[in-house]
Structures are given as C-alpha cells and as structure tokens.
Amino acid sequence: MRMGRRRRQKVRRRPQKRIPDVYPCPACGNTAIKIELYRDNSIATVKCGSCGIEMTIDEVNPLTEPVDIYGTFIDRFYEERTTEN
C-alpha cells in the first residue's frame, strides 16, 4: 500500500532588495532616521528615533523619494552646523 505523495514544497522567497526605511543619523550615528513623505502636503518629515533630531523638508514633488529627502536633510544638517561656527 502506498501512502499519498508527501512531497514538501519548498517555498523559496527571494529577498527583494529594498531601499531601507531607516537611514544613518548624522547627529548621533545610529541608523534610526525615519522619513515620512506627505506628497499631498508637499512636505516630508525626517526624524531620528535615537537622538530625536527632527526636520521638516518642504521640497517635495511627486517624484521625490525618501532618499532625496534624506539627501536634503543631510545638506541642511551640515549647513546649519557650519553657520553655527
């Protein structure tokens, strides 16, 4: 007597390469920067979950990606630093 076939199917999921949701923080060094895009309002918020640094970026257009916001955030962060000196 034969038992029913019992072949275990291996479901292999390819890990998709995604852009990470968190970015390194220039202030504290932790990868804890979260970016939220509000395209309807043409703004984005940048916030570090570690040190609490926050910034609102108002240069958002329909093509803006979080990584662009991150770039703007970094630029502004260092701009502010240099003007403080």
Closest CB 56 distance from Zn ion, rounded Å: 16
Given its phi and psi angles, is residue 22 left (phi above 0), alpha (psi -120 to 50 degrees) or beta? beta
Stretch that binds Zn ion, among 8-16, 18-26, 38-46, 59-67 (CB under 5 A): 18-26
CB-CB contact of 60 with 38 (8 Å): yes
Q: Does 55 bind Zn ion (CB under 5 A)?
A: no
Of 25, 44, 46, 60, which lies in the binding site for Zn ion, with binding defined by CB under 5 A?
25
Closest CB 14 distance from Zn ion, rounded Å: 33
Number of H helices, E strands in the chain: 1, 4
Residue ranges that bind Zn ion, judged by CB under 5 A: 25, 27-28, 48, 50-51
